[in-house]
Amino acid sequence: MVLDSDPVAFSNWIVPALLSFLTSAATLCAVALVGGYLISAFRYGPVGGGDVIYRMVLGGVRDLIALSPRRILALAWLAVQESLRRRVLVGFGIFLLILLFAGWFLDTQSNDPATLYLSFVLTATTYLVLLIALFLSAFSLPADIKNHTIYTIVTKPVRSGEIVLGRIVGFAVIGTVLLAVMGLFSYVFVIRVLNHTHEVDVASLRPVPNDPNGDRAGRTSLAQNHRHTLKIGPDGTGSTDMVQGHFHEVTAQESGDKTTYVVGPPQGLLTARVPAYGDLRFKDRAGKASDRGISVGKEWKYHSYVEGATLAKAIWTFSDITPERFPDGLPVEMTIRVFRSYKGDIEKGIRGSLVLKNPRTGRASDEKFFIAKDFYIDFLKIPRNLTDPTGKPLDLFDDLVSDGQVEVWMQCLDASQYLGVAKGDLYLRSRDASFTLNFIKSYLGIWVQMLLVTSLGVMFSTFLSGPVAMMATLASLVLGFKAQFVLGVAKGAIEGGGPVESFIRIVKQQNVTTQLEPGLTTTVVKWADSVFMSFMTAITGLLPNFNQFSNVSYVAHGFDIPPDAVLVQVFSAAGYVIAALAIGYLFLRTREVAR
């Protein structure tokens, strides 16, 4: 799995995040008060304006204190009923249709079906639920205002804040129920689609040459576009190799004098690894410390390469290494990239070695050799009892761990060949969490996104007409998903310039890397783009980054979603919901209809 940024610990995040939120809120309040006062002063004079603002603030505080859960729930129930009237269940029908016909559109020859199917169900659910939330939230309030049905509510003793909050809660309830049902169907779909078995191709079974145990090797039948090779012991039990991220256990069943082999269900396909990541640093070919390894000229700079048969090394420092956490030694998993500067022996892989080192004393273990398995997760168990290079025995925790820290030094052994690594490419698989729970956590991420869209939709609908509120929410959604792109264009990191420049390039069919001809036109175009992109950057900064709430890649690649990440997502979303609620309340209060 690509680890774009370090996982954030909730305890380290919450205090600065809270301070930042309070500062932003205070600033916005101050700006709103000053702006409001200026407008009111213009309309009613300095004293009258001040009075309006005073009453507004006082009313706001009163409304906040007097928020009634009963009224909010009643309004939420109305929103639920309205959603049902507007045939929200059609969305669920569409989801079922997508699942039913998914097999038509998905890559049946995929090497990694678990990743493919999980990504598919999670992405389809996300888009569908967000669209439903968008349409429900953006059109509800404007339709009520337009049809005057809002008067049946505002004439009752309800407050503007309760109307806004009631809608958000109501639509969120509908979205939650939909999500729960979709999640259940998705889970069953994935389990059913991925479950398969094979038959042992008995004719292919041959004794393994020079095997003292008398094992036999052969292959299985073809199923789901793959087959396995397998090894069976004299008692008829054995297992297959790892293909498409899973293996099968094989057992023998005797009936009379006939032996039949039974291949079990796939194992290791749906996992939730809990990785312990280390900090990565490098040493260059001369043995000097370096932040990164060598670039082998790839466009994607994620991996950094270590040159073979030199002093170059990749060093991970792991913390919190205790016998309680790893009683049997260190379970190392790694995905190491290979770059050959010459072909060498094609039949043989590129060799590397791992050494465990005490960061304080420098004591090191003997080398553990491996052949780099490009693009596959390789597993290496480092036992507790080790030896040093001279053959003296070492205890992992007593001799190599200091203050809970241990270093893993990786080296490439073949001259002029390179091993590519990134921080997340070597980790300790501390344990496996429940896949089902992980799946639920990924749905929690979708739920958070749904809540955000609902809040934004309701907020925009307090001061815009239905279609415009929908477009505004959609724009927020697109900007939220494409925040990185917008910022990249604004900073010039993405070639081709801003909207005006790229439009000119499209019309003139000009490559993004060629420079525009210097002159007045180019200057004006660049200026216009910089103004527009500054505005877009500011807007993007205010909106939630929706990618931050997505946990699809964790689940699809078989990694546990860190609980801290879930907490960060929930609290971040809460901040945005509160902001949307406050803005929606203010706008609704200023409208004639809600007074």
Partner 1 sequence: MNQRQRFIRKIAYACAIAALLLPLSWLSQPATQDGSKGGLLSRMRQEYSLSQADLGEIDPASETIKLATLGMRGVAANILWEKAHEYHKEEDWAGLSATLEQIARLQPNFVSVWVFQGWNLSYNISVEFDDYHDRYHWVIRGINFLKEGTQYNRDEPRLLTDIGWTIAHKIGRADEHVQYRRLFRDDDEFNGSLPRSQRDNWLVGREELLKAERIVARGTPLKGKSPLLFYSRPPMCLVNYAQTMEEEGTFGEVAKNAWKKAGDSWVEFSNRDLPTQYNVLIRLSEKEAYSKKADEAKAELDRLTPPGLSDKIAAEKRAALSDEEREAYDTPAERRTKEQTNLAAAVGEKLMVHAIDIADRITGDDHAAAFKAAEDGGQADAMARAIDIERDIVNYNFWMLKCQIEPDDDTLGARKAMFDGDRAFSLGRLEECFKAYDEGLKLWRKTIDKYPSLLKDTEVTEDLVISIGHYRSILHQMDRQFPTPFVLQDVLDADALQKGPQLPAGEAPATGTGKDSAGAPENDPAKAAP
Q: Does residue 347 interact with partner 1 by CB under 8 A?
A: yes
Q: Which two tokens stand for residue 252?
A: 């023998």
Could you tell me the smallest distance in angstroms from the CB atom of residue 530 to partner 1? 25
Asked if residue 107 binds partner 1 (CB under 8 A), the reply is yes
Placement of tokens 């990786």 in the chain: 410
Q: Is 493 in the site for partner 1 (CB under 8 A)?
A: no
Span near partner 1 by CB under 8 A; candidates 131-139, 341-349, 397-405, 522-530: 341-349
The length of the chain is 595
Please, how many CA atoms are within 13 Å of residue 394, restricted to the half-sphere of its CB?
Answer: 23
Contact between 416 and 542 (Cβ < 8 Å): no
Residue of 5, 11, 109, 155 interacting with partner 1 (CB under 8 A):
109
Q: Identify which range of 78-86, 368-376, 382-390, 469-477 contacts partner 1 by CB under 8 A.
A: 368-376
Position 343 contacts partner 1 (CB under 8 A)? yes
Is residue 302 involved in binding partner 1 (CB under 8 A)? yes
> Based on C-alpha coordinates, what's the Rg of the chain?
30
DSSP 102-153: HHHHS-TT-S-HHHHHHHHHHHHHHHHHHHHHHHHHHHHHHHHHHTTTTHHH
What is the nearest approach in angstroms of partner 1 to the Cβ of residue 443? 21
Q: Give the shortest CB-255-to-partner 1 separation in angstroms.
A: 29
The answer to whether the beta carbons of residues 79 and 169 sit under 8 Å apart is yes
Please tell me whether residue 374 binds partner 1 under the rule CB under 8 A. yes
Q: Is 375 in the site for partner 1 (CB under 8 A)?
A: yes
| From 16, 47, 105, 391, residue interacting with partner 1 (rule: CB under 8 A) | 105
Sign of CA dihedral 394, 396, 400, 402: negative
The CA angle 460-466-467, to the nearest 5 degrees, is 105
Which three-class secondary structure string do you get for 546-567? Answer: HHHHCCHHHHHCCECCCHHHHH
Candidates 196, 285, 292, 340: give the one binding partner 1 (CB under 8 A).
340
Q: 520: which 2 tokens?
A: 């007045």
DSSP three-state, residue 171: helix
Q: Mask 210-249, x = binds partner 1 (CB under 8 A)?
A: ------------x---------------------------
The tokens describing 148, both together, are: 């005057």
- Residue 115 or 271 with smaller CB distance to partner 1: 115
Nearer to partner 1 among residue 120 and residue 316 (C-beta) = 120
Phi and psi at residue 421, to the nearest 5° = -140, 160
The answer to whether residue 345 forms part of the interface with partner 1 (CB under 8 A) is no
Name the one range near partner 1 by CB under 8 A: 50-58, 102-110, 157-165, 507-515.
102-110
Q: Which stretch binds partner 1 (CB under 8 A): 344-352, 383-391, 437-445, 525-533?
A: 344-352
Buried b / exposed e along 544-574 (16+ C-beta atoms within 10 A): bbbebbbbbbbbbbbbbbbebbbbbbbbbbe
Phi, psi for 571 (deg, rounded to 5) = -70, -40
Residue 372 contacts partner 1 per CB under 8 A? yes
Amino acid at 539: I
CB nearer to partner 1: give 249 or 374. Answer: 374
> Closest separation between CB of residue 420 and partner 1, Å?
10
If one asks whether residue 310 binds partner 1 (CB under 8 A), the answer comes out as no
Task: Report the interface residues with partner 1, using CB under 8 A.
Answer: 2, 101, 104-107, 109-112, 115-116, 119, 222, 299-300, 302, 338, 340, 343, 346-347, 349-350, 372-375
